[in-house]
Structure 1
Amino acid sequence: MAATTTSAPGRIDYYAQSLYSNTTTSDTITKVTGETLPGFPSQYDGERVWTGSKWLDPSLQETYIVRISKDDLLEIESALRHFQGLGLPPGSLGRDTFPLSQDLSDRLRQVSQDCYNGRGFAIVRGISPGRFTDEENVLIFGGISSYIAPTRGFQDVHRELVTCHVLSEDMRPGSKEQNLRPAFTNGRLAFHTDVGDILALHALGVSDTGGETMIASACQIYNEMTASRPDLVQELAQNWAFFHSQDYYTDGTPLLTNAPGDKLVFQFSRLPITGFRSQGANPTLPPPTAKRLEAMAKVEELAWKHTFPLPREPGDMAYINNLCLMHARSAFDVDKQGNPLPSKRHLVKLMLQDPELAWELPQHLGWYLERVYGPNQEDGGRVEKWQLSVKDNSLPDGRIWAGSGALSNG
């Protein structure tokens, strides 16, 4: 198979609908048909293969939404008060310290099964965020999540924080100096994956317009690309150097991996290659070839083609398999010119793992397991830091900068 060595000139726009504009086959872009990636199936099947139109059927909502009843909510509030009465730090949240009934526990455990072994996503609905303080909502999120996937991943470059508040800082004074990432603006997010097994999002507030979390099946994208552009699939399976955050990178990691049991793992983001706004791509990265830009553009195109916008209500807790589903976001609360408006959208993010159901990952992804879920203490222990609220009276304006130091790929 002929591979291109042409590098893309100049700056690449994060928001570009297509990173690659040459639509004709040339000496540097060679289409190849009939090839199957070594070590991969020709097509994936099972529940993780779907197109978004399937889930738009309202009758299917009950298959992926776990509804919290009034009695469940009383039980959850009792568990919260029990935990608060223990006087323990948030890192002690678990099934023993946040006790729930067997019935509710079983329903929450099914969410983990759905994420790892089923369709790849689920929503827990019925928490009323207005009933609790912001701090209590985050504790409830952590307590409920401990029944789904009890291991919490680090989300910052210092490997301390297990929480991340996702809200727009676009209108905050000093935002230009903060080099905001796309996730912390009102803008659209391109499809990507973060770093961890299960992405969990708790909606403390929702936007007036837009702001949908979009998900897409990587297996569906792989199947379609394998049938029409196997040369691009081959490119995605090559070693890519990616700066996942501000202080480390993977040197020679394929974006596509077939884990044992024919489980497709797809780790992808355009942000390290395009940069965002005034912050360009890291200059030490090798420039992307035209073939790689074409592959990235095709992934984005197919992800939007097959996307499913998750239904959203205040209090929703969404759980998404970050290994085999990609996610994006529509722009929210902007004026006709696309300028940001004030917004109530506020998500809290956890990156979870269920040791009972976690996939066996190949050795080249060992860095990810160690960095996110490994120990952060010299004695081999783990100490978690939680931000229960964006408020922080020790800071000049009384609150944190959302996403500061985060490992976010979006």
Structure 2
Amino acid sequence: MPATLSAKSSVESLQSNATTHTVPDKLGPAVAGPMVWEGTELDATKYVVNLDTHEVANIRSAVISFKLLGLPRSYIDKSTFPLKAELATKLSSISKELHQGFGVSVLRGLDVARFNDEEAIIAFVGISSYVAALRATDSYANQTLSHVRDATHDTVPHWAKDIGLAGSKITSAMDFHSDRFSGDVLALYVRDDGGADNGGEQYLTSFWRIYNELLEKDPAVLETMAEANWPFELKQKDREPYLEFGPTLFFSKGKPICQLVKAPLLGSPRIERSASMPALSKAQLHALAAVETLAKKFATQLDRQQGDIQFVNNLAVLHARAAYGTTKERSSRHLLRMFLRDAELAWEKPASFRSNFDDPFAVGRKQNLPVVDSDPWRKISGRESHG
């Protein structure tokens, strides 16, 4: 069984300049900058990056070029997915927006390329290599790229009869969250938005805006979030889950980092939390409610079109999803998902939990980039049961 983390408060959680030998006694100051936004302050004109016909043609050419190499998809990078200098610069500038700007960017225009399933994977991975070259691979589910889709109508194999589906495989609404220790940047490629009136609307909210509000009106919530005593339930393959303590609020040289996801703390619609896990304290439950309330207050609906590739800062911007589809038939809604890191612009992580943030990017780990999602259970398709 993996070693659990200490319940001692994360040193860097409360103050960015703290050392590993002292316990800080105050929260970091209010943050400023373009990543502090709310509602209509962030609209599509500020984050949509449009591709013209020549750029789409260049991407299609790069896809064909890679296919002709006959290499495994894990070999996709800038050298095997060649783009013209102007387009390469355009894509790399997205990373600056994610780390120093609003924390959100949407690349639009790929739908006209009419990629088949394999070509879509190659294009998504190739484009992302210019935005943030490092791809995260979950050491638990051994996934680099996953399919966000409705798997509730799949025939359940005998071996998976006692295994629930993660949030990425069901149609239920998802509260605001960030994907804990999954990667710095969340990347989603909208292969099929499910059609009109299907639901599944996506929402984003600035945690930095939430942080400033709580700092002024309810700082005790932030203090609770920064304590490393949140009881996360981590699933294991063919074994009982284990308990890992940690904070939900960190700092990176003054930058608040939120890693708050409810499923491993409360359970999810398809994956119950083990009765052996400790319950959350009243202060922690209050913190969850306070963050969710403010997240909804400051949220904006993400402008989404078929063929979009969405990039979101997973450290400072929370995301949520409305329910979609119906219970009678499978929804066609289908997104491809990866988590990324830009080695040059990545925020420094707090020393006490740096290994947790860095683990998905371990060098040498085999990358799995499946074209078809043939196993949505994957013996719990995410260690912390979130999508």
Give the Cα–Cα distance (whole angstroms) in 2 for the partners of residues 295 and 212 of structure 1. Answer: 25
Question: Given that residues 40 and 258 in structure 1 are in contact (C-alpha distance below 8 angstroms), is that contact kept between their aligned partners in structure 2?
Answer: no
Q: 1:288 and 1:264 mapped to 2: Cα distance?
A: 23
Separation of aligned partners in 1, 2:328 and 2:222: 37
Would the aligned equivalents of 2:166 and 2:381 in 1 still touch at CA under 8 Å? Answer: no
1:364 positional shift:
2.0
3-state SS in 1 of match to 2:235? coil
Deviations 1:130-149 (A, max 9, x none): 71211110110000000000
| Aligned match of 1:112 | 95
Q: Please give the per-residue CA displacement for 1:28-86, whole angstroms capped at 9, x wherever unaligned.
A: xxxxxxxxx84543311101101022124xxxx33311111111111011111111111
Map of 1:315-326 to 2, 5 A cutoff? 315-326=307-318
Larger Rg: 1
Structure 1 position 405 matched with structure 2 position 387: no
Residue identity opposite 2:207 in structure 1? A
1: CA distance between counterparts of 2:342 and 2:148?
Answer: 23
Q: Is the 8 A contact 1:51 1:307 kept in 2?
A: yes
Q: CA deviation at 1:184?
A: 1.4
Contact 2:139 2:360 survives alignment (8 Å): no
Report the 3-state secondary structure (helix = DSSP H, G, I; strand = E; otherwise coil) of the residue aligned with 1:128. Answer: helix
Q: Do the aligned partners of 2:27 and 2:223 also contact (CA within 8 Å) in 1?
A: no
| Match of residue 372, structure 1, among 356, 360, 364 | 360
Q: What value does the CA root-mean-square deviation take over the aligned residues?
A: 2.1
- 2 CA distance for matches of 1:206 and 1:281? 30
Who is 1:51 aligned against? 38
CA apart distance, 1:274: 1.5
Aligned to 1:216: 205
Note closer, same or farther for the CA distance 1:402–1:130 as it changes in structure 2 (3 Å cut): farther
Secondary structure at the residue paired with 2:229?
Answer: strand
* 1:69 lines up with 2:45 in the alignment: no
Instruction: Quote the offset at 1:187 in angstroms.
Output: 1.0
More displaced 10-residue stretch of structure 1: 275-284 or 322-331 = 275-284
1:200-226, Cα deviation, whole Å (9 max, x unpaired): 000110123211221111111111112
* Closer/same/farther in 2, CA of residues 193 and 41 from structure 1, 3 Å limit: same
Residue in structure 1 matching 2:286, options 286, 290, 294 = 294
TM-superposed CA distance for 1:92, in Å, is 0.7
1:330 to 2:319 alignment? no
Equivalents in 2 of 1:63, 1:203: separation in Å?
A: 19
2:304 to 288, 308, 312: 312
Q: CA deviation at 1:341?
A: 4.0
Give TM-score, length-normalised by structure 1.
0.80
Q: Deviations over 1:327-347 (max 9, x none)?
A: 11011123xxxx464311101
Residues 1:167 and 2:155 aligned together: no
Q: Which of 33, 41, 53 matches 2:28?
A: 41
After TM superposition, what 4+ stretches of structure 1 lie above 4 angstroms from structure 2?
A: none
For residues 131 and 246 of structure 1, the distance between their equivalents in structure 2, rounded to whole angstroms, comes to 38
SS of the residue 1:349 aligns to: strand
Deviates more, 1:74-83 or 1:247-256: 247-256
State the identity as a percent: 30
Q: Secondary structure at the match of 1:246?
A: strand
The structure 2 residue matched to 1:282, chosen from 266, 271, 274, is 274
Task: Show structure 2 runs of 5+ residues with no match.
Answer: 1-23
| 1:320-370: CA deviation from partner (whole Å, max 9, x where unpaired) | 000111111011123xxxx46431110110100000111111112223233
Alignment-derived partner of residue 341 in structure 2: 353
Gapped runs of 5+ residues in structure 1?
A: 1-36, 376-380, 391-398
Which secondary structure does the structure 2 equivalent of 1:319 belong to?
A: strand
Report the CA distance shift for 1:323/1:166 in structure 2 as closer, same or farther (over 3 A): same
Q: With structure 2 as the length reference, what TM-score do the two structures score?
A: 0.85
Distance of aligned partners of 1:105 and 1:278 in 2 relative to their CA distance in 1, 3 Å threshold: closer
Shift in Å at residue 284 of structure 1? Answer: 4.0
How many aligned positions are there? Answer: 351
CA contact (8 A) 1:39 1:258 kept: no
